[in-house]
A and B are shown apart, each in its own frame.
Chain A
Amino acid sequence: MVLATGAANPLLRWSYFVEQWDRIEEAIFQHVQLTLLAVAFGFVISAALAFLGMRYRWTITPITLFAAFLYTIPSVAFFGVLVSYLGLTLLTALIPLTAFTILILVTNILDGFSSVPASVREAADGMGLTPAQRLFTVEVPIAVPYIINGLRIATVTTVGLVTVAAIVGYGGLGRLILDGLRRTFWTPLTIGASLSILLALLFDLLFYALGAWLTPWARRRQAP
């Protein structure tokens, strides 16, 4: 970061950072909040869709196509359409954010459950586990790495998309970026941009660690 001494518009003016800390903090909070909300809702929807897909095999293709379609909608367009109808509300930001997570989450959840070997399922049934027991004590744990991976990608992607959501007023750190661009005042821009990058990387690391922690069996790869 260049602290151009004497220049009126440095990349980062520390005094601004300190003075506006409240606003920055609020932006961070909103950013995290939006991200987590979108991923949470997306996860619930995706889990339901995945369940449907597993129960009725034929629904997998239409579901995947639909999710892919949602994902392909350009973010700016999606926000734009909704703002025309809903105005500048939380929903305007949240709906596209949620929609973009669905493809990633559904695909990964489905992959997770399809990774359970048929022999494991059969052995579980043969031992007298009820369908619920089999699902929760066998299938879900095995699917977990995929689910975590899906959450990881979805979350990180959403952090990026939240910055774009600033154009409809709910963008957390993206608002700082936009503000800075509009006023050609670099400090908020630098702060907003770097913090959102950091946030994304932080989430990435967090989920990576979570995944590693939850799957001790994947870590041991030694042959006897």
Chain B
Amino acid sequence: MADAVGTTPAGTMMGATAPAATVTWLAQAAVPRDITLAEWFTDPETWTGSNGIVASLGDTLLLVIAVILFSVLVSVPTAALLAHQRRAELASAWVVNIGRAIPTFAIAGLLVPVSLRAGYGFEPWPIFIALTLLTVPPMYLSTYTAVKQVDPAAVNAARAMGFTEREVLLTVELPLALTVIFTGIRVASVQVVATEPIRAFLGGDGLGRYVRDGIGQNNPTLVLGGAILIAVLAGITAVTFVAIEWLAKPPGVRRLAGGRTERTLSARKQLVET
């Protein structure tokens, strides 16, 4: 892991002023640095190998999945429960607000020395914690809002029929809120995938490494290749989640939500507003 920090020639980026660096880069533009993009992608070495795309993809997916799972486990049940009990609304709003404001890169950076001192190395804690901090607020908020805005008539009817509070939550509120909850999970997950590449600049690897190395080596092909990989993964994630979201709707709600109920709309509004 320490290698990653060492490979970048110190001062290439930071020391040089922007115009000087541009000149340097332009001076090399006429002669392609290494190989073309197509060549890079079709070279099997690119894919396999210890620094290969497959390995990096694996790294990325591992972290991303871990973050998403953890965040879901932390935020969804808590939010659902609190929303059901109509508690902690103001506190929730503030927590979400603060969480949203904090720059992920900064927090991750701050945690690096802490992690090193504690003997954990550059990875995975700083980036894991920072990404979780990024993901939890929107998931929490969308779940809270979704449960809170479930049709009160349905809830009251359930209560009147003798459902316990737990049953109400699990069999009425959650299924009806599921669409919005999933939307929240989707949005947050795509955000994680989109933000994960900063890990490469924090002493880690993952798919972001190509952009990092490309910039460091003044290799636009590498940078572009890396960027494309990252973007494609984000796109695939988004599409996958949309599919899961669609499948997860209970049939009755599927029809309802297909026509966009008032509540789904306003819940979405609140999501975007955050």
Interface: B121 (CB within 8 A): no
B100-138 interface code vs A (CB 8 A; 1 in, 0 out): 111111110110110000000000000000000000000
On A, residues with C-beta under 8 Å from B are: 9, 11, 72-81, 83-85, 87-90, 103-104, 107-108, 111, 146, 149-150, 153, 156-157, 159-161, 163-164, 167-170, 173-175, 177-184, 186, 189-190, 192-194, 196-197, 200-201, 203-204
- Given the complex of chains A and B, what is the CA–CA distance between A197 and B101 in angstroms? 8
Instruction: In the complex, identify which listed stretch (B6-14, B41-49, B141-149, B169-177) lies at the interface while the others stay far away.
Output: B6-14
Min CB–CB distance A195 → chain B (angstroms) = 9
Min CB–CB distance A161 → chain B (angstroms) = 8
Q: Assess the A175–B14 pair: CB atoms within 8 A.
A: yes
B67-106 interface code vs A (CB 8 A; 1 in, 0 out): 0000000000000000000000000000001101111111
Q: Can you show 20 pairs from A to B with CB atoms below 8 A apart?
A: A72-B190, A72-B234, A72-B238, A73-B194, A74-B193, A76-B198, A77-B194, A87-B22, A107-B272, A161-B103, A164-B105, A167-B212, A169-B13, A180-B109, A190-B113, A193-B107, A193-B109, A200-B101, A203-B101, A204-B97
**A80-B211 in contact given A89-B18, A181-B201, A200-B101 (Cβ < 8 Å):** yes
**Chain B neighbourhood of A108, CB < 8 A:** 272-273
**8 residue pairs, one from A and one from B, having the closest CB atoms:** A160-B103, A80-B227, A76-B197, A74-B194, A84-B220, A193-B106, A77-B227, A80-B211
**Chain B neighbourhood of A173, CB < 8 A:** 106
- Name A163's contact: one of B21, B103, B223, B273 (CB within 8 Å): B103
**Chain A neighbourhood of B8, CB < 8 A:** 182
Interface: B240 (CB within 8 A): no
Interface: B184 (CB within 8 A): no
- Name A74's contact: one of B13, B110, B195 (CB within 8 Å): B195
Q: Assess the B230–A74 pair: CB atoms within 8 A.
A: yes
Q: Assess the A84–B223 pair: CB atoms within 8 A.
A: yes
Min CB–CB distance B21 → chain A (angstroms) = 5
**Chain B neighbourhood of A72, CB < 8 A:** 190, 194, 234-235, 238
Min CB–CB distance B121 → chain A (angstroms) = 12
On B, residues with C-beta under 8 Å from A are: 5, 8, 10, 13-14, 18, 21-22, 25-26, 97-98, 100-107, 109-110, 112-113, 190, 193-198, 200-203, 208, 211-212, 214-215, 220-221, 223-224, 226-228, 230-231, 234-235, 238, 269, 272-274
**Secondary structure dominating the interface of A:** helix
**Chain A neighbourhood of B5, CB < 8 A:** 181-182, 184
Q: Assess the A11–B97 pair: CB atoms within 8 A.
A: no
- If A177-B109, A181-B5, A182-B5 are given as contacts, then 19 extra A-B residue pairs at C-beta distance below 8 Å, sorted by A number, are A74-B234, A76-B200, A76-B227, A77-B227, A77-B228, A80-B227, A81-B223, A81-B227, A84-B214, A84-B223, A107-B272, A153-B274, A156-B100, A160-B106, A164-B198, A169-B18, A170-B18, A192-B109, A193-B103
Min CB–CB distance B16 → chain A (angstroms) = 8
Min CB–CB distance A218 → chain B (angstroms) = 15
Min CB–CB distance A106 → chain B (angstroms) = 10
- Given the complex of chains A and B, what is the CA–CA distance between A150 and B154 in angstroms? 34
**Chain B neighbourhood of A107, CB < 8 A:** 272-273
